[in-house]
Each structure stands twice: as structure tokens, then as C-alpha cells.
């Protein structure tokens, strides 16, 4: 039997995502009511510019006083899509304290202060859901938190930022340079006017922190994630990658150590073999590989951003939270019982592709190989080319720690025969 009293929803933010959430709530009202077991009513919309025309939204619902809206006491669910740390953090905690469960798409806030938000939700017996904070419409958080709750996840590897994937895909398929590909992404609306959060890896790092925390039942903050942007990737790097049968992607990688005693979380460009499914993720799409002991390898793929995809994830959370509300229960909260330490990047072990500019004369390769050996870094392959006294030396290593590789490169720079280190890139997905 359907409950007649509607569940009241407050919407914080009415931009690209918020307006789409409001539209779906209105146009799909009957279906949502049938799925939830009660009508859902948009009870208020907090915005910064109240005079802007918002199609389909009753102007009487619009307010600039978000604090008053979340303090009303009759609000069942607050949907936060304003982004940023403040005032979102204060508004979410205030909403929970005044009896509302919360659905958020705020990756930066969850990555930085998720523990405090979960603590408030637990204290007051409310839900905090945030599927839309990672990978847009792709169901990822709920499978990790619920479907794989009985399994042991060892690795999460993926492309979690559509802007960077579009840029790198354009560089790969057209031979364009970084700036040219970025300009195209901006013209098509994939990149913001200031793309720093995307191209420098901040966006992906926040998502990596969230994924690692859920996957490994450990609190992983944004500051725990190693971050390296992709602005230094060049057409020459793609040419080298192709010679190895690889391409280049900006990856978020969350791993459990082989002994199970620690975890790592990192974001950086990496070469991956063309045979790996992630190599074929094109344009602005996202894809994430999850590797667990019982289930094996799982891949989640789809649009990772945009108003409609993100709104889809928000509405999925809204339905779940409303069902919990009716049943007098709450869904899964934070699971951080494992409390594993987060290892520094220096402990991470992977393969490396190093391109050196060297003097074209006898003995150079022997000198370089000696430096690698002295630092305990084993060489897999070497490729040398050049003329007129200058040469390029490309070294691909076996697996080595980041710290060992760093010491190797520092020593290489001191060799008289090494003119410079053209590029260093990790090789993943093997």
C-alpha cells in the first residue's frame, strides 16, 4: 500500500545537475512514487541567483537561505549538488541534525571530510549517500559497498575523469599536442574555462580517495592520494607508447599491498597495453576495473559526467534513501574497521618507461645500465637511436619501487653523457 503523505525533498543547488534532478522528479513523479512507496515532493530549492528563470520549478520554492531550508524540520531528504567544501559541509551537517537524510554529489567534500559527515549521520540515525560523487551515472559505490561486501577487494583501477580522457584520446587518435586537444575539449564543453581540477588530477584524486576508503574499509583522505597531472604528456610520449603497443591514460589506482597490511591510492598518467580494456575507453567516457578475490575482475563503464548521467545517480540514491525513510531504517554507513595504513608513493612498485637524451658515443649504454643496477632497478628493454652526436635512449624497467626509480633518475642526471631526462612514465595494466 502506498503512503499518501509525501516525502519532502530540499534541493541545494540548481545548476546543470540540480535542474536535471528537479526535472526528473517532476516528469517521473508517478514512477518514483511507485518505486518508493510514497509520493516525493520538491519542498524547496536553494540557489544563489533567485531571479534566474528555472523552467519547471515553482518560483515560490526558490530561496537564497539554504540554512533556513535545511533547518525546517519537515524535510525528509536534502540533495546537495552545490559542490565545494563550504557552505556544503555545514549545510549537510545541519540538515542531518534537523532530521534529514542526505544525498550528495560532492566528491571534494566526501574525500576531505567524509568521516565527519558519516559520524553525524550515524549519531542521528540518518543516511548519507553519494553515488554521484564518483563516475557519474556508473553504479560503482553501491556495488563496492553492498554487492561486494562479502568479498575482499584488492585493486581498483580506472579512468574516472571524462575531460582528461577526452584530451588524451584526442592526442592518441589525431596526433594533436596537449594544448590543441585541450582547446578542442573546451570548445566542445568537456573542459571548464579553468581546467586545473581535471588536468592536474585533483578531481580524480578525490574520487580515488572515496573508492579506496570503501574498497579497503579504511579511511583514505584526499591528502593520502598521490597526485600527478597530465599537462606534461606529449605527442612524443604517445609515439613511444605506440612503439610498445600501449596508449596513455590518466589512471586512478587504489591497491592493497601484497601482504594485506597497507593500501595505496594514486592518480597519474600511465602507459597501458592496447590489449587492456581501459585502452579502448574513448572520448569522455569513464571505466573502472575492480579486482576481488572471489568475484575476480569486474569492469564498470559509462558516461562519467554531465547533467543527465549525474542526475541519474542522484535519483538512484534518492529512491534508496526514501525507501529507508519509509521503512524506518538506514542503509550502509562508513565501514572503516580495517584501519589500514596508507603507504607513501615511494613504496609503490610498478614498471617504468624512461626516455633519456644522451650523447651518441660508445659506452653510454653501459654507464646508464650500471646506474640502474647500482640502484637495484632491473631493465627489461632498451631502445637507442640517434645521430650527429645526440641520441635518445628509451629504457623500460621491470617492476621497481618509486623510491628506487627516483634515486636512479637522480643519479642519471649526474652523468656527463646524459643531456636530460625527456620523460618518465609508469606502465600499468599488465
Give 26-37 pLDDT, tens digit per residue: 999 999 999 999
Average pLDDT over residues 316-328: 97
- Per the CB < 8 A criterion, the answer to whether 343 and 263 are in contact is yes
Catalytic option among 8, 126, 207, 249: 207
Exposed e or buried b for every residue in 267-295, given b needs 16+ CB within 10 A?
bbbbbbbeebebbebeebbbbbbbbbeee
pLDDT tens-digit map of 202-236: 999 999 999 999 999 999 999 999 999 999 999 99
Average pLDDT over residues 42-52: 93
- Per the CB < 8 A criterion, the answer to whether 10 and 300 are in contact is no
pLDDT at residue 305 tops 80: no
- pLDDT for position 15: 92
Q: What is the pTM of this model?
A: 0.94
Query: Residue length, the chain?
Result: 430
Average pLDDT over residues 112-139: 95
52 an active-site residue? no
- pLDDT for position 114: 96
E strands, 13-127, are 40-46, 62-63, 77-80, 101-104
pLDDT tens-digit map of 62-92: 999 999 999 999 999 999 999 999 999 999 9
pLDDT at residue 373 tops 70: yes
Amino acid at each position: 500500500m502506498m503512503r499518501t503523505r509525501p516525502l519532502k525533498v530540499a534541493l541545494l543547488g540548481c545548476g546543470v545537475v540540480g535542474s536535471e534532478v528537479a526535472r526528473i522528479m517532476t516528469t517521473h513523479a508517478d514512477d518514483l512514487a511507485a518505486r518508493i512507496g510514497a509520493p516525493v515532493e520538491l519542498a524547496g530549492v536553494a540557489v544563489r541567483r533567485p531571479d534566474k528563470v528555472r523552467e519547471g520549478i515553482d518560483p515560490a520554492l526558490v530561496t537564497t537561505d539554504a540554512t533556513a531550508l535545511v533547518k525546517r524540520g519537515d524535510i525528509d531528504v536534502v540533495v546537495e549538488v552545490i559542490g565545494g567544501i563550504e557552505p556544503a559541509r555545514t549545510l549537510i551537517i545541519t540538515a542531518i541534525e534537523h532530521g534529514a537524510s542526505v544525498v550528495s554529489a560532492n566528491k571534494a567534500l566526501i574525500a576531505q571530510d567524509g568521516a565527519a559527515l558519516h559520524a553525524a549521520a550515524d549519531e542521528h540515525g540518518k543516511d548519507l549517500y553519494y553515488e554521484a560523487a564518483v563516475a557519474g551515472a556508473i553504479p560503482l559505490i553501491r556495488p563496492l559497498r553492498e554487492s561486494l561486501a562479502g568479498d575482499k577487494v584488492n585493486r581498483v583501477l580506472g579512468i574516472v575523469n571524462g575531460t582528461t580522457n577526452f584530451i588524451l584520446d584526442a592526442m592518441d587518435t589525431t596526433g594533436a599536442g596537449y594544448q590543441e586537444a585541450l582547446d578542442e575539449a573546451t570548445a566542445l564543453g568537456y573542459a571548464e574555462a579553468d581546467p586545473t581540477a581535471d588536468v592536474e588530477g585533483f578531481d580524480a584524486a578525490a574520487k580515488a580517495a572515496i573508492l579506496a576508503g570503501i574498497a579497503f574499509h579504511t579511511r583514505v583522505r584526499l591528502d593520502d592520494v598521490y597526485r600527478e597531472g597530465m599537462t606534461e604528456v606529449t605527442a612524443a610520449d604517445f609515439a613511444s607508447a605506440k612503439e610498445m603497443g600501449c596508449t596513455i591514460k590518466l589512471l586512478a589506482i587504489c591497491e592493497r599491498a601484497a601482504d594485506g597490511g597497507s593500501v595505496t591510492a594514486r592518480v597519474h598518467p600511465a602507459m597501458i597495453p592496447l590489449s587492456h580494456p581501459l585502452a579502448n575507453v574513448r572520448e569522455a567516457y569513464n571505466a573502472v576495473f575492480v579486482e576481488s578475490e572471489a568475484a575476480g575482475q569486474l569492469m564498470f563503464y559509462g558516461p562519467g559526467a554531465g547533467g543527465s548521467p549525474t542526475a541519474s545517480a542522484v535519483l538512484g540514491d534518492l529512491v534508496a534513501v526514501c525507501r529507508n525513510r519509509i521503512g524506518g531504517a538506514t542503509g550502509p554507513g562508513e565501514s572503516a574497521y580495517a584501519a589500514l595504513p596508507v603507504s607513501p608513493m615511494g613504496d609503490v612498485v610498478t614498471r617504468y618507461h624512461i626516455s633519456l637524451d644522451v650523447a651518441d658515443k660508445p659506452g653510454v649504454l653501459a654507464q646508464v645500465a650500471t646506474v640502474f643496477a647500482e640502484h637495484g632497478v632491473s631493465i627489461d628493454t632498451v631502445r637507442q637511436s640517434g645521430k650527429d652526436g645526440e641520441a635518445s635512449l628509451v629504457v623500460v624497467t621491470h617492476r621497481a619501487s618509486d623510491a628506487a626509480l627516483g634515486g636512479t633518475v637522480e643519479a642519471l642526471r649526474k652523468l656527463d653523457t646524459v643531456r636530460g631526462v625527456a620523460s618518465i612514465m609508469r606502465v600499468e595494466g599488465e
